[in-house]
Amino acid sequence: MTGTAAAGLTAPGAGARIGAAMPWLLVPLLMLAGLLAMTVQAMPGEGETLAALLADPGLWPLRAPAALEAVLASWVTLTLAGLAMGMMVFLMASGLTLIFGLMDVINFGHGAFVSLGAFVGVSVLAALAGWMAAPSLPLNLAAVGAAVLAAMAVTGAAGYAFERVIVRPVYGAHLKQILVTVGGLIIAEQLIYVIWGPAEIYISRPEMLKGAMVFGGVALETYRLLAVAVGLAVFAVMGAVLRLTRIGLIVRAGVQDGEMVEALGYRLRRVFIGVFVTGSALAGLGGVLWALYQEVVTAHMGADLMVLVFVVVIIGGLGSVTGCFLGALMIGLVQNYTAFVEPKLALVSTIAVLVLVLMWRPTGMLARDRGRQS
């Protein structure tokens, strides 16, 4: 081998390494930015305006410690709320990003599985009202677990049918996919009206998951902790499956170049059906958790959430589960911080994050390397 060929791999410089780690750093950076914004907002005393205070740097050291102390508890609460919301959005979005990455299928019907999962879960929880009301954590968790399992089973099966009936005939035709999957979403919503009726259904959380735990004066809502734990667990399991198993290897390769995976002898279609069913089931899981978070379910909740889910999939990079995870956390945090600091901005904060990320990385934070490079 000559030098030219052997020197093909160059060690990445510090800049490149920071660039690679940047999506991971963005989440803690956002947390710090949130804390800073909240502190600054709390700094003005009685009768002071923020502009007057900012114009006088000499006052900052006097006011900052007190302001920081005042907002710290709120910041922890908001951060946990943001993380919990991000985890639930991640559950709904992770399947969508793999479905797109693997087979280039744009599934606007994904929200239907969120709604369906929520209604199935709520029905199961209603049936298990005794377990829900009991002041026993194991019983409460068993009820939630049963609801989640039922929801995932139903949405997984629905995903299989959706893939066979609706998605399969339109492989490779993006416009048709959009039209047909939106149609599927409408049909699913109407079916929910037929089965569960048009009214929204209210549900209260299990007894032991209501309220908050207090750590050192900071109240942490129990249910949010549960949502974060579930989200982290799903992310870890997905990562392990993708990294360590042969199916995961095929999925990661298929996201880059499905044709070559087929040419190596793998039935990518079968793998894709598995991914579609798994993604639908995860959407159902997200739906149950979201229903208990909001304590109300509606037939169009999935479609409403799809805006957030698509933003997360896009800023994460189509086909990247990790990007989807980080994007979901970022969106959750930004929404909660802006809702606290400047409620009017909360509506546009999601779009602002989307715009900024795409200006920085036009294909998303962790876009796949789509093969065909030579």
Burial annotation 290-329 (CB, 10 A radius, 16+ → b, else e):
bbbbeeebbbebbbebbebbbbbbbbbbbbbbbbbbbbbb
Please pick, from the candidates 40, 192, 250, 297, the single residue that binds other proteins as defined by CB under 8 A. Answer: 250
Check binding of 172 to other proteins (CB under 8 A).
no
Q: Residue with structure tokens 């003005």?
A: 44
* Residue 373 in contact with other proteins, rule: CB under 8 A: yes
Interface with other proteins (CB under 8 A), residue from 212, 249, 296, 339: 249
How far the first Cα of the chain sits from its last, in Å, is 20
Q: Min. distance of Cβ 346 from other proteins in angstroms? A: 35
With binding defined as CB under 8 A, does residue 32 bind other proteins?
A: no
Cα 263 to Cα 28, 183, 267, 268, 269, distances in angstroms: 42, 34, 9, 10, 13
Residues contacting other proteins: total by CB under 8 A:
32
Torsion sign (Cα): 345, 347, 353, 354: negative
Residue from the set 49, 135, 359, 374 that interacts with other proteins by CB under 8 A: 374
Beta strands in the chain (DSSP E): 201-202, 212-215, 218-221, 296-297
Which of these ranges, 51-59, 201-209, 264-272, 307-315, lies near other proteins under the rule CB under 8 A? 264-272
Residue 63 interacts with other proteins (CB under 8 A): yes or no: no
- Who's near 206: CB < 8 A, 6+ residues apart? 131, 132, 133, 140, 141, 143, 144
Which range binds other proteins by CB under 8 A, 42-50, 138-146, 216-224, 244-252? 244-252
Min CB(166)–other proteins separation in Å: 22
Classify the C-alpha dihedral 97-102-106-107 as positive or negative: negative
* Residue 261 near other proteins by CB under 8 A: yes
Among the listed residues 286, 109, 97, the one whose alpha carbon sits nearest the alpha carbon of residue 184: 109
How far apart are the C-alpha atoms of 287 and 309, rounded to whole Å? 12
What's the chain's length in residues?
374
- Return the number of the residue (10 or 49) whose C-beta is nearest other proteins: 10
Q: Which is nearer to other proteins, 224 or 368 (by Cβ)?
A: 368
Q: How far is the CB of 160 from other proteins (least distance, A)?
A: 20
Q: How far is the CB of 370 from other proteins (least distance, A)?
A: 9
Q: What angle do CA 79, 328, 335 make, to 5 degrees?
A: 50
Residue from 268, 273, 282, 285 binding other proteins (CB under 8 A): 268
* Stretch near other proteins under the rule CB under 8 A, chosen from 7-15, 78-86, 158-166, 176-184: 7-15
Binding site for other proteins (CB under 8 A): 1-2, 4-10, 246, 249-250, 252-253, 256-257, 259-268, 368-369, 371-374
